[in-house]
A and B are shown apart, each in its own frame.
Chain A
């Protein structure tokens, strides 16, 4: 870290330094090697995959052929559009609802806030299970409808509570002075509370976005037609197609013109595509992590 070592702290021993280095290296390798291998395999041609006997670790004859095939496959292209739209629309909707709900619940004395909070918390720890949810969503018209990818998971109570904790721990006097200056609730939320809550807003936006991007179970449950599937559902189907087990009753769609087993490099290319957006966004939000979560979740 940037702070200098305080005088009272012992000098590190060489053995201790070496041990620390080895452990950190092993952890790093355990995280990076699989990801690296997937990316390299997605860029390899069939010959080098056969040569390696499966996963490619040493790059050799790299080609973008599998990505070219993916981007000319209507089903996969459409699934990427679906995933992107669900992530954008879903995250926007979730954030609006979460911010409003958390702000309302963070104001002491707002109408019924204790009761509402209790009702929310109960859903966090008790649920009727998959079937009642399925029946409710289907009865409301969610079956075979894109909205079933967003609305059932639009609110995370955990996120509301984290954000409420953050709102409660900051800026009570700022809010007071804004009120004296004549600002209404909307103005206070927009011009005072949200600007100073940047860390928690960033972290929770990321949580929602990653959640929507990674979700496939809602698609499995509500979307019988593979023309509406998101990208993660395509990955899931690939996993199934790679290891077909008859008689499971799970709908497995046909990919790439009905071939039973897609070549490994195409599978890996699809997996890489699911990883890229998350890897791109994380570094920008990471600096907010400690602050956003510390104040919201731990002290709240």
Chain B
């Protein structure tokens, strides 16, 4: 994650490629890396940039597992590209999509802990403090163990609730999720 943040810093930071271009064009600079207003978008973009390759591999595997005869049959019945995508590819990968969603939701509150830890000081606490960084700075750095432990436990319980809800959602879609109904 350190490398990813550095790459973004070099592209979008105050001395990065984006602001070099803006300066050359005589426009005002915009240091994306330290702007609290857009920080949530920045974090999302970094996570997508880093994780997209892995997601592509998993979904590619799911698509490759779909029986090609289904495509042929629907093409013979007159379905075009988009209808085949909608009626065969997407239902065929539904199980994998739901499983990935459940796994993601369980991790949602971690929100890329290292990523936020690295960048917290640059954008300020108001924009970048999450439960984990709070537990780390309050508990470990400031030696306030009981308070930090409470924050960590709180996060654990919330995650558990999220997982449970995500599994309910998976069952509503008729999928197994993490465990069977």
Question: Which A residues lie at the B interface, using CB under 8 A?
Answer: 6, 8-10, 30-31, 33-35, 37-38, 41, 52-55, 57, 121, 124-132, 134-135, 214, 216-217, 220-221, 232, 235-236, 239-240, 243, 245, 248-250, 264, 267-268, 271, 274-275, 289-290, 293-294, 297-298
Contact = CB atoms under 8 A, between A and B. Distances in A.
Given A37-B10, A55-B16, A245-B122, A129 B155 contact: yes
A8 B136 contact: no
Contact of B156 (A35, A128, A216): A128
B111 interface: no
A126 B158 CA distance: 9
Contacts of A217: 113-114, 117
B34 to A, nearest CB: 8
Interface of B: 1-3, 5-11, 15-17, 19-20, 23, 49, 57-58, 60-62, 64-65, 68, 71-72, 75-76, 80-81, 95-96, 99, 106, 113-114, 117-118, 121-122, 132, 135-137, 139-142, 145, 148-149, 151-153, 155-156, 159-160, 163, 178
A264 B10 CA distance: 10
A139 B162 CA distance: 32
A248 B61 CA distance: 44
A216 B10 contact: no
Contact of A135 (B1, B142, B145): B145
Contacts of B23: 53
Contacts of B2: 214, 216, 232, 235-236, 239, 271, 274
Nearest to A30: B49
Contacts of A35: 7
Given A271-B6, A293-B57, A298 B121 contact: no
Given A131-B149, A131-B152, 20 more contacts: A54-B17, A54-B20, A55-B17, A124-B106, A125-B159, A126-B156, A126-B160, A128-B156, A129-B132, A130-B148, A135-B145, A214-B2, A214-B3, A216-B1, A245-B121, A249-B137, A275-B3, A289-B61, A290-B61, A298-B99
Contacts of B178: 121
24 contacts: A6-B68, A10-B81, A30-B49, A41-B10, A54-B17, A125-B106, A126-B160, A129-B155, A130-B136, A130-B152, A132-B149, A220-B117, A235-B3, A235-B6, A236-B118, A239-B9, A243-B121, A264-B15, A274-B3, A289-B61, A294-B62, A294-B65, A298-B61, A298-B62
B10 A130 contact: no
Contacts of B11: 33-34, 37, 55
A10 B7 contact: no
A213 to B, nearest CB: 10
Contacts of A128: 149, 152-153, 156
Given A217-B114, A274-B2, A298-B96, A130 B72 contact: no
A227 B31 CA distance: 34
B6 A243 contact: no
Give 6 nearest A-B pairs by CB, closest first.
Answer: A129-B152, A54-B15, A131-B149, A34-B7, A245-B121, A235-B2
